[in-house]
Structure 1
Amino acid sequence: MKAVILCDGDIPQKRIIEREISGSDLFIAADGGAYHAQKLGLQPDVIIGDLDSYKVTGTETAEVIHDKDQETNDFEKALAHALNRSATEAVVFGATGKRLDHTLKNLSVLLQFDASFNSILLMDDYAVMKMIHSPFKESFEPGTILSLFPLSGKVEGITTKGLKYPLKNEDLENGVRDGSSNESIEKTVEIEFKKGDLLLLINH
C-alpha cells in the first residue's frame, strides 16, 4: 500500500505530485500541507497535525485528525498514521525547504521510520532522497548526479561501483568527509557498506 504525504515545505510542480497520487492508496496532508493541497486543487483523504498552521473550517471533506502531541512533528504524525493504515511505501513532498531546522528534523524522522516501511522517498525540485541499505543496486542514466550523506554521523567501509569517484572500503563522516556531487558513469550503480545510516540523493 502506497501513501503520498504533502508537508508544508517547498513542493515541486503539480503534475509531479498528481502522478504519485494517481498511483497511491492514501493521500495525507500534514498540517500546513493542506493549504498546498487547496492551492493545487488536490483533495487529501486525511489532514493530520497539531494544526498550528492549518485552521479547520468545518467544511473539509477530508478526515481531520488533531494530534496535540508536541513531542512529534507533523511529518512524524503523518508517517505514523500511514503506518497504522498499513502503508508499506511513502512518497513525501514538502519535507524540505523553507526552515532549515524543519528540513533537518524531517531527515531525522526519515531515519526514524526507515525500518518500518519498504520505501520512503522524499521528493523536491532538486532531488529524490532515500535511505539505502547494503548491498544496494539500482539503474541510473549515466551522468546522473548522486550524493551520499552519512545521516547519523559516520558510515564505514563503503565500496561503490559505477560512480565517477569510487570508494573502496572507505568511510564518510560528518565534518570529516562527505560524498556529495558524485556521478554515475555506468547504467548500474552498486554500493556496499559495513556500518551506518546512508542517505542517497538522486539529483535532477
Structure 2
Amino acid sequence: MHAVIVSNGFPPSKELLEEELKSADLIIGADGGGNTLLSHGHDLHVVIGDMDSFKKPKDPDFEIIKDTDQETNDLEKALSLAVYRDAETCTVLGAFGRRMDHSLKNLSVLKRFDSAFNHLLFKDERLSARLISSAYSGNLPIGSIISLFPLSGKVTGITTKGLKYPLNNEILENGERDGTSNENVEEEFSIEIDSGDLVVFLEN
C-alpha cells in the first residue's frame, strides 16, 4: 500500500499534488497539510496532528485524529499512522519551505522513519530527497541536480559513478565538506557508502 502525506511546509502545486495522488491508497494531511488537500478539492482519508493549523470544515467526510503529544511533530504523527495502517511505501509533500527549523527537523524525521518503509521519499517542485545507508543507483537526464548531504554528521567510503564531480572512497562531513550541486554526466549513475546516513537530493 502506498501512502501520500501532505505536510504543512511550502505547499505543493496542484499539478504535483494531482500526479502524486494518482497512486495513493492512503492520503493523510499532517495538520495544516489537510488545508492544502482541501483547497485543491481533493478527497483525503485522515488529518492528524495537534490541530493548531488545520481548518476543520463544517461536515468533514474523513477521519480527524487530534494528537497533542509535543514530543513529536505533525509529520511524525502522520508517518506513524501510515506505518500503523500498513503502508509499505510513502511520499511526503510539503516537508520543507516555510520555516528553516522545521525543514531541518524533517530531515531528522526522514532518518527516523526510513527503515519503516520499503521506500520513503520527500518531494517538492524541484527535488526529491531520500536516505541511503549503503547504495543507490538511478537514471536521470544528463545534467540533473544530484546533491549529497551527510545527515549523520560524517559519511565515509563514498564512491560515485556517472557524476561530474566523482568521489572515490571519500568522506563528506558537516562543516567540512559536502556534496551540494553535483550533477550526472551519464544517464545511469550510482552512489555507494560504507557508513553513515547520506541524504541524496535528486532533480525531479
Smaller-chain TM-score range? over 0.9
- Aligned partners of 2:22 and 2:136: how far apart in 1? 28
- Does 1:127 pair with 2:145? no
Deviations 1:141-184 (A, max 9, x none): 11111000001111001011000000011000000000000010
Contact 2:5/2:30 (8 A) holds in 1? yes
User: 2:133 and 2:88 mapped to 1: Cα distance?
Assistant: 16
Q: Identity, % of aligned pairs?
A: 50
Tell me how far apart the structure 2 counterparts of residues 184 and 55 of structure 1 sit (CA, whole Å): 43
Alpha-carbon RMSD across the aligned residues, in angstroms, is 1.1
Q: What aligned pairs does 1:121-200 form with structure 2 within 5 A after superposition?
A: 121-200=121-200
How far, CA to CA, are the matches of 1:121 and 1:112 in structure 2?
13
* Paired residue secondary structure (1:172): strand
Q: CA deviation at 1:58?
A: 4.7
Find the aligned partners of 2:14 and 2:148 in 1 and give their Cα distance: 28
Are the aligned partners of 1:137 and 1:190 in contact in 2 as well (CA < 8 Å)? yes
Please identify runs of 4+ aligned residues in structure 1 that moved more than 3 A: 55-58
Cα deviation, 1:47-90, whole Å, max 9, x if unaligned, reads 00011111434511110001111100000000000000000111
Q: Distance in 1 between matches of 2:11 and 2:54?
A: 17
Q: Which runs of 5+ in 1 are unaligned?
A: none
CA distance in 1, matches of 2:56, 2:98: 23
Query: In structure 2, what is the equivalent of residue 37 of structure 1?
Result: 37
Contact map agreement 2:76 2:109 (CA 8 A) in 1 = yes
Assess if the C-alpha contact under 8 Å between 2:133 and 2:196 holds in 1: no
Deviates more, 1:191-200 or 1:4-13: 4-13
Deviates more, 1:6-15 or 1:181-190: 6-15
Question: Does the aligned pair in 1 maintain the 2:133–2:195 contact within 8 Å?
Answer: no
Q: Count matched residues.
A: 204
In 1, distance between residues paired with 2:103 and 2:59? 31
**Residue 120 (structure 1) shift:** 1.1
**Within 1, Cα distance between the matches of 2:71 and 2:12?**
28
The whole-number CA distance in structure 2 between the counterparts of 1:150 and 1:42 is 36
What residue is the counterpart of 2:97 in the other structure?
A: 97
Q: TM-score, normalised by structure 2?
A: 0.97
Gaps of 5+ in 2: none
Query: Within 5 Å, which residues of 2 pair with 1:81-96?
Result: 81-96=81-96
Structure 1 partner of 2:10: 10
Query: Distance in 2 between the 1:149 and 1:143 partners?
Result: 19
**One-letter code aligned to 1:142:** I
Aligned to 2:74: 74
